[in-house]
Amino acid sequence: MKLSCESDTLEDYLEESEWADYSHPSIRELADELYRASADEVVFVQSAFEFVRDRISHSWDIQSTRITKGASEVLRYQEGICYAKSNLLCALLRSQGVPSGYCYQRLTLGDTPDTGYVIHALNAVYLRSLGRWIRLDARGNKPGVDARFSLDDERLAFPIREAYDERDDPLIYKAPHPSTTAALLRHSDCRAMYLHGLPSEL
């Protein structure tokens, strides 16, 4: 799939926001630590991705009722759904000058179309050393989900099943889509939100 950018200006993918609040001391401290331990840009991106994938629990997997939103809150509580985890990865990368954005997929909520559809969030990262964007999915692995860092073939959490009318959105957004942030803001119980309150379309 050919990716396209919402903006032609890389600096737009470095902006700070309430969602990617990378000036927060906790974000700066972690990002600086990961960056110092990395030999180059690619290693840093992989380290940040694997931290969010492995160290931040997916709220549904742990059956948490807490809804985390912005990056610093996600890091504080060490949990979040894909919308929240993508905010944290974005903030960590942007804090070190690595352009990153948001990408989306339309997936079945369960295993079949009769369960309904849901919008799933992941990230796109621009690697200056390679001169191109790659997509990374820090949702968190579990049986049946095995997302990995890859510079070649994508290893995302959920391969698209066209027969089930699942879709990839090729656009790299500068900021989280309003439909995803609205879901986080209007709910107070994560389990209820996950089952009944996530958007099915952008």
Per-residue pLDDT tens digits for 8-24:
999 999 999 999 999 99
Distance in angstroms (rounded) separating the CA atoms of residues 66 and 69:
10
81 burial level (CB within 10 Å; 0-12, 13-18, 19+)? buried
For residue 44, is pLDDT > 90?
A: yes
DSSP 56-103: SEETTTTT------SHHHHHHHTEE-HHHHHHHHHHHHHHTT--EEEE
Distance in angstroms (rounded) separating the CA atoms of residues 50 and 141:
10
Q: What is the mean pLDDT of residues 194-198?
A: 94
Distance in angstroms (rounded) separating the CA atoms of residues 67 and 76:
12
For residue 115, is pLDDT > 90?
A: no
141 burial level (CB within 10 Å; 0-12, 13-18, 19+)? middle
Question: Closest Cα partner for 147 from 46, 67, 41?
Answer: 46
Question: Closest Cα partner for 125 from 35, 3, 34?
Answer: 3
* 122-136 tens-digit pLDDT: 999 999 999 999 999
Residue 110: what pLDDT? 84
Query: For the chain, which domains are there?
Result: 4-196 (3.10.620.30)
Distance in angstroms (rounded) separating the CA atoms of residues 106 and 120:
6
Question: Closest Cα partner for 14 from 175, 150, 182?
Answer: 175
* 67-114 tens-digit pLDDT: 999 999 999 999 999 999 999 999 999 999 999 999 999 999 888 888
